[in-house]
Structure formats: structure tokens, C-alpha cells
Structure 1
Amino acid sequence: MFVIIGYVFMCVCIFGAYVSHGGHLGVLWQPSELVIIFGGGLGAMLVAYGPQLKAILASIPVLFKSSPYGKAFYMDLFALMFEILSKVRKEGLMSIEGDVENPDASPMFAKYATIAKDHHVVEFICDYLRLMVGGNLNAFEIENLMDVEIDTHHHEAEIPVGFFQKLGDGLPAFGIVAAVMGVVHTMGSLHLPPTELGKLIGAALVGTFMGILLAYGFINPLAWILDGKAADSTRVFQTIKVTLLASLNGYAPQVAVEFGRKVMAGHIRPSFLELEEYVKNKKA
């Protein structure tokens, strides 16, 4: 929603000010220059990001959706972690073996539909609980393994970010290409009267204008959005990591959950008492 609102507001301000000073919008419509700018930019990105094209296309719908990792998601995540760790503390690690091996059939995971439908989060939780059940790795080794997996996840999430960032950075240059080609065309038309030459020169300059506008007004903001969403996703895994490691180091479930709460972004972080009441009510 904010993407559309921002685009509309920007265009109204830019083009509205242009028209208010006597400018004519028709002069700015240069389809051939748009083809040069976008065609050149996308072609260059296809060379650089061809193998990752599927991931990039999959990221486009995400741009127009709010982050799923809000306060409600974390509250359910902590409630699930608290319930799992409480069961481990009372009945031992082997008591969660069935839940870990088949989370789709687990009554605990079924209670938290928001978490259960996020395949990556469920897989991350189950993978490391499985390692804890196996008992062959110590906390230090598990932490290192978690860090490697989180770094890999973040790198994959950053691929669309790099695509849009580099595309945005390249569009002004392709705008200059379009402008130079327009100047070349103008230089071959010097026999025309000044009024006609003025139109050709103006059309050529539109290429530079469009390249800069498309880059910094339309494309680069998309990279910033995706970067924020990648950070939100990574923070979820860091929260799970801190919670599980606290439990592995002997802390009680409520304390382990408190460790995880500290990783949350401040604007969605619940208070200690709010979270404590929520996880106990959900477990009951």
C-alpha cells in the first residue's frame, strides 16, 4: 500500500510542479528512450543475475505486502518455544522426538497456525531440536552451525536486494546513453529550423531525466524495502537461535524465552509481563 501511495505522491509533486511552471507532459513521453533505459538495464541485470531470476521474480509480490513477522507472529513463536522447552524440561529431550520428526502431525505445532505455515521457520526449529535430541553436539558447535545457516539464509534473501539496487544504480547511466543517442540524432538534423531542433534537444534530455527519476524514485526504494524484509526474516532465526541456546545452556523455559525477546525489534517487542502471560495462557 505504501509503495503505491509513495509513487503517486512523488509523481504528483514532480509532474505537478513541472506543469505549474508551464511545462507540457507530452514532451516527457518518449517511448524509445524508455526502451533504451529499461531494456539496457534489464539486459545487463539478466547477464549478472540470470541464474537467480526465479528468486527475484518471487520477491516482487513481497514488495506490496506487509511483513508477516509482526508482534503476533513473535508471540506465537515464543508460546510454541515455551511449550516445547517446558515439555523437554519435564519429560526429557526424547519426549519431543515425534514432534520434531513430523511437525505436521504434532499437536504443539498445530496450535500455532501462523508458525506452522512458515516452512523455513519450522524446519529451522526442528533441525536444531533434532540435534539437541541426538546429543552429539555441544552448545558451541550448534551455535556455529546456526550462524552458518543464518548467514546463508540472509545471503539468499539479499539476492533480490542486490538486483534492484544495481538496476537502480545503472538506470541513470542508461539514461545518459539515451540522451547521447538523442544528441547524435539532433546533430544529424541541424538543417531543421530552430523550433524543430529545440524539440529534438528537449527529447534527448528527457533520457537523462527519466533515467534518474526511475532509478532513485522507483527502483532503488524497492531495494530498500526488500532489504528491510530480509533483515526481518533473519531476525526471526536469530531469535530462535538465542532461545534454543539459552535452553541448551540450562536456563528455564521462561528465561530462555526472555533471551529471545531481547532480540526483537523495539517497536514490536512486548513487555516481559505481557509475553509471560501470553505464553502461559497458550500453553494452558
Structure 2
Amino acid sequence: MIGIVGIVVIFVMVFGGYIAAGGKMAIILKSLPYEFTMIGGAAIGAFVISNDTSAIKHTLKDVGKVFKGPRWKPDDYRDLLCLLFELVRFARQDPVRLEEHIEAPGDSSIFANYPRILKDREAIDLICDTLRSASMNYDDPHQVEEVLEKRMEANHEAAMHSSHALQTMADGLPALGIVAAVLGVIKTMGSIDQPPEILGKLIGGALVGTFLGVFLAYGLVGPFASKVKDVTEEDNHFYHLIREVLVANLHSHAANICIEVGRQNTPSHIRPSFSELEEALKEVKQRDVA
């Protein structure tokens, strides 16, 4: 919602100020379809050239983050801590039966209590693979931690591709606007024998290309890239929380300590309070007893 508000503010302030200053929209509206075809078409073409099919689909999907915001909400972080608590405690009590849950999380009674997390393949794979590594009796927990770190860096780099692709497009739009403007000047020079009022409109139409390229770059595509980057980094905290808890588990800390390590390493604006988490963990314990 806030993304839509921002777009409305941009258009109202830019074009509202232009009209208030005595500008006429007729020249812009007449030239806009042609200039947009040249600039937008060239930008899209360059985007397609520089990305493969999967990256294009990924970027188009990530544009929705501008309006939806982060995927993981504060309640999801609380649920994740509860899920990890159950798994860590189960691993200590009955490591053999734990294999049933981590080998087939879709059929697990533990994972079934957290459907939103279960839908995220990367989160589930990260949890199950790390618990599986722990069950293999690694001599040095730092080995698992290093593997986790490299895996998360690779995943984060892949997730950031959409932001980089949009920013590259934003960087190129002003130059494409100049290309469109130059073509407009060439068109104007072909009508140099026309009276000043006609030449004025032709020159104004040519300058719309420069305006449109800069406006799209800094008013829309650039901010989109920045927002996608921020949301991606925000969602990445979810996977960092998994790492913090499971690494603490590898060092044989008590289950409650592992969870508290994860809670305190969660950013403050999405971190569940100690009392809130304690209440949720009590419900988990009661459900396990039942």
C-alpha cells in the first residue's frame, strides 16, 4: 500500500507542479506514446538481453515486493523459534525418530504445525540439512557453521539479482532518454523550414524523451530496485535466525539457550519479546504432552 502512495505522490508533485507553473500537458501527451515506446522498449530489450529466462521471471515476481513488503512478519519469527525449539528438543530426546521428520518434513507432525514455514523450501531445506549434518557427528561444529555461511551467502546473492537487474535498467534509462531526444532533434531538423510555432512543438516533443528517461530512472525504476533490495535483505534475517539457533545447538547449548540466542540476534522491530516467546513455548510444551 505504501508503495502505491509513493507512486501517486511522485506523479502529483511532478506533473502538478508543472501544470501549476503554467506548463501545458498537450505536448507531453502527444509525444509520450512514441517516446515511451522507444525508451521503454529499448530498456526492456536490454533487460532481456542481459538476463536469462529464470532471472526475468524472478525479477518480475520480485517487483511485487514493492507493494507487499517483507514476506516474513513478526509472528513468523516467533513461530520459527517455536519450530526450532521443538526440533532441537526432539533431537536431544529421540535423535533416531527425528530422522522421520527431517527426511519427510511434508509428512511431519512437527512441521505441520507451521504451514507458512513449511511452504518455504529454502527454510525447510536449511533446517533439515543442518540437523542431518548434526546427526552425522561432525567433529568440529565450525565445519557445519562454515558450510551454512557459504550456502546462505550464495542464496542471498541469488536473491539480490532482481535488485541488481532493476538498478542496471535504471542506470541506463537516462542515456536511452537522450537517444530518444536525439532522434526527436533529427526529426525536427527535417522540418527546419516550418514556422517557429511548429518547430517549438517538435523541439518540445524531443525534450520529452530526455525528461521521460530521467523520470523513469530516478522516479520509478531506481526506487523499485532500492525497495526490492531492502525487502530481500529484511527477509534474509529469517534464514539468519535459523543459522543462529542451529549453530548454538551444534555447540550443545540447552534448547532454551539456543532459542534465546536466536531471539536476541533478530532485529528489534521483528523480534518477539521474551514474555511473548515464553508464552508461545509453553503452548508448544503443552501440545507435545497432549
Aligned residue for 2:19? 19
- Give, as a single letter, the amino acid of the residue that structure 2 aligns with 1:18: Y
Report the AA paired with residue 274 of structure 1.
Answer: E
Trace 1:196-207 onto structure 2 (pairs within 5 A).
196-207=198-209
CA contact (8 A) 2:63 2:224 kept: no
Determine if contact 2:77/2:272 at 8 Å carries over to the other structure.
Answer: no
Give the secondary structure class of the aligned counterpart of 1:189.
coil
Structure 2 residue 80 is the aligned partner of structure 1 residue 46: no
1:55-74 alignment runs, 5 A limit: 55-74=58-77
In 2: Cα distance, 1:272 partner to 1:206 partner: 57
| Pair 39,137 (structure 1): closer, same or farther in 2 beyond 3 Å | farther
Identity, % of aligned positions: 37
For residues 3 and 229 of structure 1, what CA distance do their matches in structure 2 show? Answer: 12
Q: Which residue identity lines up with residue 18 of structure 2 in the other structure?
A: Y
**Matches for 1:1-284 after TM superposition, within 5 Å:** 1-29=1-29, 30=31, 31-51=33-53, 52-89=55-92, 91-136=93-138, 138-284=140-286
SS at match of 1:135: coil
The offset of 1:92, in angstroms, is: 4.1
RMSD: 1.5
- Segment of structure 1 superposing worse, 61-70 or 125-134: 61-70
Q: 1:169 to 1:234 in 2, by over 3 A?
A: same
Cα deviation, residue 211, structure 1:
0.6
Aligned-pair distance for 1:71? 0.5
State TM-score, norm by structure 2: 0.93
Which residue identity does 2:3 align to in structure 1? V
Contact 1:235–1:263 under 8 Å retained in 2: no
1:124-158 Cα shifts (integer Å, max 9, x gaps) = 11111111112246311101110111011111111
Instruction: Extract unaligned runs of 5+ from structure 2.
Output: none
Query: What amino acid does structure 1 have at the position aligned with 2:280?
Result: Y
What whole-Å deviation, never above 9, does each CA across 1:9-53 have from its counterpart, x for those lacking one?
Answer: 111111111111221222112211111111111111211113422
SS in structure 2 of the partner of residue 107 of structure 1? coil
Aligned residues of 1:243 and 1:260 also touching (Cα < 8 A): yes
Deviation of 1:184 after TM superposition, in Å, equals 1.6
Runs of 5+ in structure 1 lacking a partner?
Answer: none
* TM-superposition CA deviations, 1:166-195 (whole Å, max 9, x none): 111111110011111111211222111111
Q: Is the 8 A contact 1:76 1:114 kept in 2?
A: no
Whether the 8 Å contact between 2:177 and 2:211 is mirrored in structure 1 is: yes
Work out the CA distance in 1 between the residues paired with 2:45 and 2:116.
Answer: 39
